[in-house]
Structure 1
Amino acid sequence: MSSPSPSSSVAAARKALADRLVEIRKDAGITGQELSVRCGWNAAKTSRIQSGKATPTDADIRAWCAACGTENQAADLIATARAADSMYVEWRRRHRTGLRQAQERLISGYEETSLFRIYVSNVIPGFFQTPAYATALMRSMTDFHETPDDVAAAVPARMARSRLIYEGGHRFAVLIEEWVLRSQIGDTETMAGQLRHLLSLMPLASVSLGVIPSAGQRKVWPLEAFYLFDDRRVAVENLTAKINVVQPREIADYAKAFHELSGMAVYGPRAQALITAAIEALG
């Protein structure tokens, strides 16, 4: 069993599962001690599951339901537990077989999204990456997390999502911190090509690209990169994991942050000037 993520969305989902298991036990008319005996584990484990401090495994849920005479509910509860678990996914776990499969799994969720609101404070977002930039970035990720090296196969899978910029009526509102333009990924040629690619995307009707200047007073502090998929979900990326936020209250907070960050950004010729200056700084 694993401990709950610090993300409130994950904790809330796991607590809801715990509450449902408690209801099943109470409806069966048995105590936590008796359930522990029937399941063949100690009472402390039952207590941790009921409080939401530990997430039950598939086998734990089956044993719980069998002890309460509700085997017909096990499949649904297992699905609920897996959904909660998928809200917090460590990169090492997600990429344990390499990067390619992880990239391929993303595309269906992207195809269902009409409006992408993306804020990045670390690297150019995947939709806007060139193959050379993606290769350099994925290479560094693979080396850092010590996961299988399938970068050559993963890059085309990542590039496949870029077609959504040109088809299907998708819209991309993207905010990039200025220092991302000057944080060199790959060699000079790779970075210059990436920045020129950003300039080529700006005239597209599907793209709104804003750059948040490094100078000037901020209304919103720099945040970790996040991706808003319509108003359904937010993917937040940090060093070790991706957190999928699904609670409406938290989604609204990210939408508010994006709105305020948008007000700090520059667009059109002013954004182009910052990108051009970053290219020139490469020499």
Structure 2
Amino acid sequence: MSSTDFQSGREALGARLRELRAETGLSGKDFAERLGWPASKVSRLQAGKQTPSVGDMEAWARAAGKPEVIAELKARTAGLETTYRSWKRQLAAGHRARQEQGIAETAATILTRGVEVVRVPGLLQTPEYARYVFEQNAEFRRTPRDVDAAVRARVRRQEALYDPDKTFHFLIYEPALHASTSPGPVHVAQLDRLMGVIGLANVKLGIVPLAAPLRRAPSHGFWIYDRRLVIVETINTEMWLADEASLELYERSWDWLSESAVYGTQAQRLIGRVRAAFGSA
């Protein structure tokens, strides 16, 4: 589902909500009073300018005197949420729940491919590096800080790296190695971890040098799970894409970027040069 499809779906849902509200004979303002909501929220939902929660849909159906349409409205909302999942909603109780989703997706996947352009992939993060990632995300998104639980869940997910029935292929754009989002000693330990990962039998780590010729510059990170799902993170949402067009597009992006990557000893040397720039930390 493209962003245009998503907006069309949201507008269609808004039209359905407007229809249900109109059947009550109430104006938008009066309907909002019945719900105990600001009138602006009713207006935005009807215009397809806000993504409703499941709770919103239950309340709307009951306020319209149509509890029998709750299932329909929930299904419509789930259809939107399957593709575009807001971080605010996903992290309402903290990061742990999303990490456990990651554990489930990794467990269900044989070949996991991950691209990161601004940070180290979660599956390769040290606990200390991950801690800073979660703390910064919680502060930025103003979500609950369940950092200890989130770190433990991330470490559990990494156990899959040692499963001989699974294969992992990571591409990291060199700037992610330089991005200093944690204290020097933590960052150096993270770079050491990356060099150690290169020796794992079922893990392939490619580093795309900053000076490498590129068929297309990487714009953001993404993850491909087998050939059934692509997950893309943006500032305010996470996209879960399963349509054929998206799979083809992201696989092409993967193929083009991998052409510029270095592996094995070359990758270790590149990481080592970045590590040396941080000194003994």
**TM-score, normalising length: structure 2:** 0.80
Partner of 1:79: 75
The match for 2:263 among 254, 259, 267 is 267
Q: Which amino acid aligns with 2:147?
A: V
Query: More deviation in 273-282 or 33-42?
Result: 33-42
Q: Mapping of 1:86-165 within 5 angstroms? A: 86-165=82-161
Question: Which of 255, 273, 276 lines up with 1:277 in the alignment?
Answer: 273
Unaligned runs of 5+ in 1: 23-31
- Counterpart of 1:199 in structure 2 is 195
Does 1:252 find its partner at 2:238?
A: no
Is residue 175–residue 210 contact of structure 2 (8 Å, CA) maintained in 1? yes
1:114-142 alpha-carbon deviations (Å, 9 max, x no partner): 11111101110110001011012212212
RMSD across aligned positions (CA): 3.3
Percent of aligned pairs sharing the same letter: 31
Q: CA deviation at 1:214?
A: 0.3
Residue 58 (structure 1) aligned with residue 54 (structure 2): no
How far is the alpha carbon of 1:55 from its aligned partner? 5.3
Counterpart position of 2:172: 176
How many angstroms apart in 2 are the aligned matches of 1:77 and 1:197? 47
Q: 1:276, CA displacement in angstroms? A: 0.9
Q: Could you say if the C-alpha distance between residues 52 and 197 of structure 1 is closer, same or farther in structure 2, counting changes exceeding 3 Å?
A: same
C-alpha displacement of 1:149: 1.9
Confirm or deny that 1:221 pairs with 2:217.
Answer: yes
Distance in 2, Cα, partners of 1:266 & 1:114: 23
CA deviation vs aligned residue, 1:184-234 (integer Å, no higher than 9, x gap):
231221111111111111122211111111013321112111111112221
- Asked whether the equivalents of residues 98 and 147 of structure 1 are also in contact (C-alpha less than 8 Å), the reply is yes
CA distance in 2, matches of 1:16, 1:33: 11
Whole-angstrom CA distance in 2 between matches of 1:144 and 1:260: 32
Structure 1 length as normaliser, TM-score?
A: 0.79
Aligned residues, how many? 265
- Show structure 2 runs of 5+ residues with no match: 29-40
Which segment is superposed worse, 138-147 or 150-159? 138-147
Aligned pair 1:37/2:23, yes or no?
Answer: yes
Evaluate the alpha carbon distance shift between residue 9 and residue 269 of structure 1 in structure 2; reply closer, same or farther with a 3 A threshold. farther
CA distance in 1, matches of 2:242, 2:63: 27
Deviates more, 1:235-244 or 1:121-130: 235-244
Measured in 2, the distance between the counterparts of 1:120 and 1:139 equals 19
Q: What is the one-letter code of the residue matched to 2:227?
A: D
Q: Secondary structure at the match of 1:264?
A: coil
The answer (yes or no) to whether the contact 1:174–1:210 under 8 Å persists in 2 is yes
